[in-house]
Amino acid sequence: MQIYINGAFYPKEEAKVSVFDHGYLYGDGIYETLRAYDGYVFHLDEHIERLKHSAKLMEMALPLDEDGIKKAISDTLARNGLKDAYIRVSVSRGPGEIGLDPELCPVPTFLIIAKQFVDYPKELYEKGVNIAVVNTRRNHPETLDPAIKSTNFLNNIFAKMEAKKAGAFEGIMLNHANFVAEGTISNIFIVKNGELVTPPLIAGILEGVTRGLVIGLAERLGITVFEEMFSEAALKAADEVFITNTTMEVMPVREVDDKTIGAPGKVTKMLAEAYRREALHCLKTRKLTD
Ligand code: PDD
């Protein structure tokens, strides 16, 4: 495995960053997780846009422009001979003297890890996963804005530890106003009476790329979508529940805590299929125009 760090490639064992990197010392960094289907990086532009947005919110200048990032990602895939890949792009504030001031770090650390994509077991898509509503609240947007895809992930890690203790596949966090926010690594949707509901961005969540695509696909399919706050009780009373992210796409939920939602419902299945069709369509189009 070859890791990209600031313009050069290193074998996994030699891929190292400084102990003075503020990413390590303070969790001062941002990242993106992307997925490549047969060599095509799905929604690359949207991920780069979000990386730029995260960088802007933390007042960090990215060391590469859009084309530079695209080239670094495609070089990393080529170097590693990957087609179906999990790709992680991380940008930390970089090495600097100990102290909180970002100006101590003149050069950010830009790194890319890419590895063979391993799909979630088929059974999870067929039967659905169980999720747990955890006690850890999602960060308040005025403390650490969840819109920043930050490597400062303790909030999510605490929620994940709770979920794991509860034997759940994913932990769902509420926000400070007691409404459902999002999962530790995913956005959440419910279906009630054939209509789709997902928390709005002002609930204090990450603007998931998959979330955006699913909303668009639902609209195209004639499904009414509401970006609206909903409670834990509404989550448990839903007809269908699913979670989304770049790696799992549309993942059906069969159980929320001890409440059974049931097998993947009609709307969930329609959206899961539409998502996959969209990925394949983008892949084909790219190939035709290459
Ligand atoms: N996580 N919410 C949170 C907190 C996330 O970390 C993620 C993604 C999402 C979904 O975003 P997207 O649809 O753009 O993948 C929502 C990635 C997969 C990760 O942490 O690796």
pLDDT tens digit sequence for 15-45: 999 999 999 999 999 999 999 999 999 999 9
- SS3 assignment, position 28: coil
The CA-atom distances, in angstroms, between 222 and each of 128, 193, 272 are 24, 14, 15
**Residue 287: pLDDT band with limits 50, 70, 90:** low
As a whole number of angstroms, the distance between CA 286 and CA 290 comes to 6
Ligand 1 neighbour 160 (Cβ under 6 A):
no
Task: Give the nearest ligand 1 atom to 205 CA.
Answer: 2
Which residue has the least CA distance to atom 16 on ligand 1? 186
169 Cα: distance to centroid of ligand 1 (angstroms): 15
Q: At what angle do helices 209-220 and 44-57 cross, to 10 degrees?
A: 130
Catalytic entry in 16, 56, 149, 287 = 149
- Counting from 1 in the atom list of ligand 1, the atom nearest the Cα of 88 is 21
Condensed to tens digits (0 to 9), the pLDDT of residues 167-207 reads: 999 999 999 999 999 999 999 999 999 999 999 999 999 99
What's residue 281's pLDDT?
86
DSSP secondary structure code for residue 103 in this structure: G
Average pLDDT over every residue of 241-258: 98
Is 137 a residue whose pLDDT tops 60? yes
What would the mean pLDDT of 238-256 be, rounded to a whole number? 98
Is the C-beta atom of 18 inside 6 A of ligand 1?
no
d(C-alpha 217, C-alpha 221), whole Å: 6
Nearest CA to ligand 1 atom 5: 185
Coil vs helix vs strand at 123: helix
Greatest Cα pair distance, the chain, in angstroms, is 57
In this predicted structure, the answer to whether residue 57 has a pLDDT above a threshold of 70 is: yes
- 267 Cβ contact list (under 8 Å, min separation 6): 191, 194, 196, 218, 223, 240
pTM here is: 0.96
Rounded Cα–Cα distance for residues 288 and 290 (Å):
6
Above pLDDT 90, what percent of the chain?
Answer: 95
Q: Is residue 149 among the annotated active site residues?
A: yes
Q: What separation in Å is there between the alpha carbon of 208 and the centre of ligand 1?
A: 6
Task: Give yes or no for residue 288 having a pLDDT over 60.
Answer: no
Question: Looking at the predicted structure, is the pLDDT value of residue 290 above 50?
Answer: no
Q: Is the pLDDT of residue 221 over 50?
A: yes
User: Residue 8 pairs with which residues in a beta bridge?
Assistant: 5
AA identity, residue 133:
V
- The CB of 208 under 6 Å from ligand 1? The reply is yes
- Of the listed ranges 161-165, 219-223, 261-265, the one predicted with least confidence: 261-265
Which pLDDT band holds residue 227 (cuts at 50, 70, 90)?
very high
User: Would you state the pLDDT for residue 289?
Assistant: 42
Domains along the chain with CATH numbers: 2-116 (3.30.470.10), 122-279 (3.20.10.10)
- Which pLDDT belongs to residue 264? 92
Beta strand pairing status for 170-174 and 129-133? parallel
Query: Ligand 1: does its nearest atom lie under 6 Å from the Cβ of 210?
Result: yes
